[in-house]
């Protein structure tokens, strides 16, 4: 698994993609810096809406989408994955290291961004630090769930990037927030549930609450298994 | 080195029965079809391939890659069975212990060096000494001097060879190669042919696809001709060569006296018919080589000087179409 993980990491950290993702993940830090440089101090009231609206709802799904589809779907489409597929190894042995690397990269970028932008926006009072830590933990877990979804999409279709973008914008962005029932099948809601369980009381309200943690882990396991099954039945695309 | 290529003589017969099934052969296709929606890419093909080199010959789009992908477990047959050493190839990663696949597409991560790429294959094959196995494989394809350069800097021929090294690293008994000579210069081509002959000499089963008759003829002991998804011909290459050349053919002839020559040809049994044009004579002959043997004699006996004799329909495409029409 280590060999697949190393190659995946090197492929994902291509120069252009890394710079773009660092810029995207770093946008909240830039925002915090601008606010501080403009002479205003920390505004704890801004902390939660910014972390939730910017990092959880927008930047996390996008970074996970880029790394998740690049880790498997792009390699299947450009043919480089053939050299890994034609080896006598179980398909989950291919999926898991890719999940660990792409999920880890997404989590690392997003957690650093959460902590730095959180401190710039909210200051270092103990209440704010507790909120920031809750967000960081939830975002780290959410990174892996999102990446698992985009890996599975990449294994299932050559249009993983487009379908993934549609899912992130329409399902997670619009529907899951608006319709009560859909929240039970929303990664964003699981993340909000974990935050509401970890952060000081009154930070966020969530339909799933502390069960968001269980739901996220369950989703991670089920989706990784589905991605492995899909890969086991993978058929080369664009044949003659 | 012996090669047996077993094919049902006609498509109307039943599937290979247990008694006649060539189970000893490492590669067996039994009534295999593959379609994409309404498009049939491979149409009811059965054959078995034994040790030695077998060429899969056919024009582009004939279904060669689809067949190879099914053999490599990367495509599900829509009907029929693809067996590798007696086991279905589809959804069984353990076949990759015995198979080495060299895909047509060049795609290899450009940042890996040749050595890293082949070592990755060795590690994924769970070989005991991946570095040593990779070194041997790189040496086999004559790539040792460039092994520590990134694959991104390789020429097309070198990429082809590094893919072959990766496919060979676990010493597979079956090697599948999709258009292995594409992009190689003549020297590399010769080297690759020698390499494949050596590996076949060691008892391996090697199946390679090509759309170039000459490549197949020079290398393969047995040939499978695929055209429009069907098996057009199979067997020894000499036999297929004869079928390809000894087919009805049309020749365009210019001479000092077309009319007299036409009359002379009409007495020859090998000639079906003649047609006089403005400045040429068109002759339909029953077979290619038979006609080429008599044309000079007939002209001499008639006292006519030949200015030009040219076959009008000699494209490989038309040869394949003819072979399919015979079956």
Please classify residue A118 by burial: count the beta carbons closer than 10 Å to its beta carbon, then call 0-12 exposed, 13-18 middle and 19+ buried: buried
| Strands annotated E in chain B | 5-6, 27-36, 39-49, 52-57, 79-84, 87-88, 99-102, 174-178, 205-210, 222-227, 230-236, 249-255, 271-276, 281-285, 306-311
Q: Do A95 and B114 form a contact (C-beta atoms < 8 A)? A: no
DSSP bridge partners of B254: B308
Phi, psi of B32 (to 5 degrees): -90, 130
Q: Does B120 touch chain A (CB under 8 A)?
A: yes
What is the mean pLDDT of the segment spanning A209-230? Answer: 96
User: CA A182 to CA A179: how far, in whole Å?
Assistant: 6
**pLDDT digit string, tens, across residues A32-54:** 999 899 887 778 888 999 999 99
**pLDDT digit string, tens, across residues B175-205:** 999 999 887 888 888 888 999 999 999 999 9
Residue spans of the domains in chain B: they are 5-98+172-244, 246-326
pLDDT, residue B315, reads: 59
Does residue A159 carry a pLDDT above 60? Answer: yes
Does residue B7 carry a pLDDT above 50? Answer: no
Q: Does B172 touch chain A (CB under 8 A)?
A: no
3-class DSSP state for residue A174?
Answer: helix
* Nearest to A51, CA basis, from A104, A150, A130: A130
pLDDT, residue B165, reads: 95
In percent, the amount of chain B with pLDDT more than 90 equals 57
What is the DSSP pairing of strand B52-57 with strand B174-178? unpaired
Quickly name the fold that domain B246-326 has.
Answer: Alpha-Beta Plaits (3.30.70)
pLDDT, residue B245, reads: 66
**pLDDT digit string, tens, across residues B76-108:** 999 999 999 999 999 999 999 999 999 998 789
Q: For an interface test with A, which of B107, B168, B176 has the most A Cβ atoms less than 10 Å from its Cβ?
A: B107
What is the mean pLDDT of the segment spanning B281-285? Answer: 88
CATH superfamily of B5-98+172-244: P-loop containing nucleotide triphosphate hydrolases (3.40.50.300)
Does residue B327 carry a pLDDT above 70? Answer: no
pLDDT, residue A240, reads: 39
Q: Do B117 and B151 form a contact (C-beta atoms < 8 A)? A: yes
DSSP B256-291: S-HHHHHHHHTT-TTEEEEEE-SS-EEEEES-HHHH
ipTM beyond 0.95? no
pLDDT category of residue B20 using cuts at 50, 70 and 90: very low
pLDDT, residue B289, reads: 76
Chain B residues within an 8 Å CB radius of A238: none
Does residue B326 carry a pLDDT above 50? Answer: yes
The pTM for the full model equals 0.84
3-class DSSP state for residue A144?
Answer: helix
User: Least CB-CB distance to A235: which of B76, B120, B125?
Assistant: B76
pLDDT category of residue A20 using cuts at 50, 70 and 90: very high
User: CA A89 to CA B126: how far, in whole Å?
Assistant: 9
Average pLDDT score over chain B: 86
3-class DSSP state for residue A168?
Answer: helix
Cβ <8 Å between B75 and A11 = no
């Amino acid at each position: 698994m280590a060999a697949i993980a190393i190659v995946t990491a090197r492929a994902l950290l291509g120069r252009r993609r890394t710079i773009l993702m660092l810029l995207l993940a770093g946008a909240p830090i830039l925002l915090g810096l601008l606010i501080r440089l403009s002479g205003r101090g920390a505004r704890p009231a801004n902390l939660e809406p910014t972390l939730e609206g910017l990092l959880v709802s927008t930047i996390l799904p996008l970074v996970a989408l880029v790394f998740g589809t690049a880790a498997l779907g792009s390699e299947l489409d450009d043919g480089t994955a053939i050299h890994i597929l034609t080896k006598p190894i179980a398909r989950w042995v291919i999926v898991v290291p890719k999940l660990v690397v792409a999920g880890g990269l997404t989590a690392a970028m997003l957690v650093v961004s959460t902590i730095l932008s959180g401190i710039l926006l909210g200051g270092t009072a103990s209440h704010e630090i507790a909120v920031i830590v809750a967000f960081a933990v939830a975002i780290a877990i959410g990174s892996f769930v999102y990446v698992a979804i985009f890996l599975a999409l990449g294994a299932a279709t050559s249009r993983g990037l487009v379908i993934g973008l549609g899912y992130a914008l329409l399902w997670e962005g619009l529907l899951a927030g608006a319709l009560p029932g859909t929240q039970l099948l929303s990664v964003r809601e699981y993340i909000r549930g974990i935050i509401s369980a970890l952060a000081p009381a009154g930070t966020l309200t969530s339909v799933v609450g502390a069960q968001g943690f269980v739901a996220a882990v369950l989703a991670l396991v089920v989706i990784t298994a589905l991605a492995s099954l899909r890969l086991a039945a993978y058929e080369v695309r664009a044949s003659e | 080195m012996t090669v047996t290529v077993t094919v049902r003589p006609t498509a109307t017969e039943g599937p290979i029965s247990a008694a006649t099934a060539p189970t000893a052969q490492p590669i067996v296709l039994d009534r295999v079809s593959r379609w994409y929606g309404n498009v049939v890419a491979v149409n009811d093909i059965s054959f078995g391939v034994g040790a030695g080199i077998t060429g899969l010959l056919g024009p582009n789009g004939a279904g060669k890659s689809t067949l190879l992908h099914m053999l490599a477990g990367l495509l599900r047959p829509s009907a029929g069975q693809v067996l590798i050493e007696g086991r279905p190839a589809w959804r069984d990663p353990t076949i990759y212990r015995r198979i080495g696949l060299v895909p047509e597409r060049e795609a290899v991560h450009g940042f890996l060096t040749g050595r890293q790429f082949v070592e990755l294959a060795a590690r994924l094959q769970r070989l005991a000494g991946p570095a040593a196995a990779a070194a041997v494989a790189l040496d086999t394809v004559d790539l040792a001097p460039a092994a520590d350069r990134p694959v991104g800097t390789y020429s097309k021929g070198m990429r082809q060879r590094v893919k072959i090294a990766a496919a060979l690293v676990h010493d597979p008994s079956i090697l599948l190669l999709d258009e292995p000579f594409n992009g190689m210069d003549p020297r590399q081509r010769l080297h690759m042919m020698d390499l494949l002959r050596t590996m076949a000499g060691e008892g391996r089963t090697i199946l390679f696809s090509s759309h170039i008759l000459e490549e197949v003829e020079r290398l393969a002991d047995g040939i499978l001709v695929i055209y429009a998804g069907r098996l057009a011909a199979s067997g020894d290459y000499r036999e297929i060569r004869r079928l390809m050349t000894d087919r009805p053919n049309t020749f365009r002839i210019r001479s000092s006296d077309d009319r007299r020559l036409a009359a002379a040809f009409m007495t020859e049994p090998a000639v079906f018919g003649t047609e006089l044009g403005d400045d040429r004579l068109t002759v339909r002959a029953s077979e290619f080589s038979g006609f080429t043997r008599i044309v000079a004699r007939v002209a001499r006996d008639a006292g006519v000087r030949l200015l030009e004799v040219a076959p009008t329909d000699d494209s490989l495409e038309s040869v394949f179409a003819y072979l399919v029409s015979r079956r």
